[in-house]
A and B are shown apart, each in its own frame.
Chain A
């Protein structure tokens, strides 16, 4: 099996991810999970327009992501979801991932936690914290890290501030 990296970024496929993270992690394939975009061909083409052709890119539903992630691909993959909630639905498929990188998470009505230290915008709800903490406890390396070159904060360091 190829390596799997997971990115949480509410902008889904973003220039920062494509230009900075993909080369750094040696990504060969991008799988972006968003049920709304996956059902809309126009949105799909808009979202993939900024991705260079050398990355195989799919925008898929949650169910399609489950199937893709079990296909035994040898490629190094980046799975992108908008919010931590989606990881709960893909828990089994991301169990062996190399790293879970939290990117941009803008303020939402229920986001009571603001992460400081790492460069970038990170707002989390109680439920986000619960999900991410349980993934971290299961052995996944969870980190707040907007860009490979910017300051990062490890999950345990954020947890210690709660």
Chain B
């Protein structure tokens, strides 16, 4: 069982939260951090550290919007400090978030790998 933290630019995290809420509901194990206009890196870092501290001892899966950007960098640094219990995954879609919300059991690594597969398998082009 992992705690899941969603972090992204603008209303990304809030958007994912509201998306989940409408479809299947949001479990207590999911947390959302918005990196909004006017905020600087240190403010986001402080929010993430406070949240991680409050979840101390639990396994964490950090889900961010873009590779390389500030939310990713902060998440990646946190994961690198404790790779046994914390992983960062980038670019998940709604389908993957729904699966995570329905069943956050498993190690962060297993959850991340499965969520990446789900994301890749739920892309489609019509007609």
Contacts and interface: CB of A to CB of B under 8 A. Distances in A.
B72 A50 contact: yes
Contact of B73 (A18, A46, A121): A46
Interface string A7-50: 00001011100100000000000000000000000110011111
A51 B68 contact: yes
The dominant DSSP class at the A interface is loop
A11 B72 contact: no
B64 to A, nearest CB: 11
A161 to B, nearest CB: 22
A154 interface: no
Nearest to B77: A46
A106 interface: yes
B66 interface: yes
Contact of B80 (A13, A18, A42, A106): A42
27 contacts: A11-B41, A14-B69, A14-B70, A15-B68, A15-B69, A18-B68, A42-B80, A46-B73, A46-B76, A46-B77, A46-B80, A47-B68, A47-B73, A48-B68, A49-B67, A49-B68, A49-B72, A49-B76, A50-B66, A50-B67, A50-B68, A51-B68, A106-B40, A106-B41, A106-B42, A107-B40, A121-B40
Given A43-B77, A46-B68, 15 more contacts: A11-B70, A13-B68, A14-B69, A14-B70, A15-B66, A46-B73, A46-B76, A46-B77, A49-B67, A49-B68, A50-B66, A50-B68, A50-B69, A51-B68, A106-B40
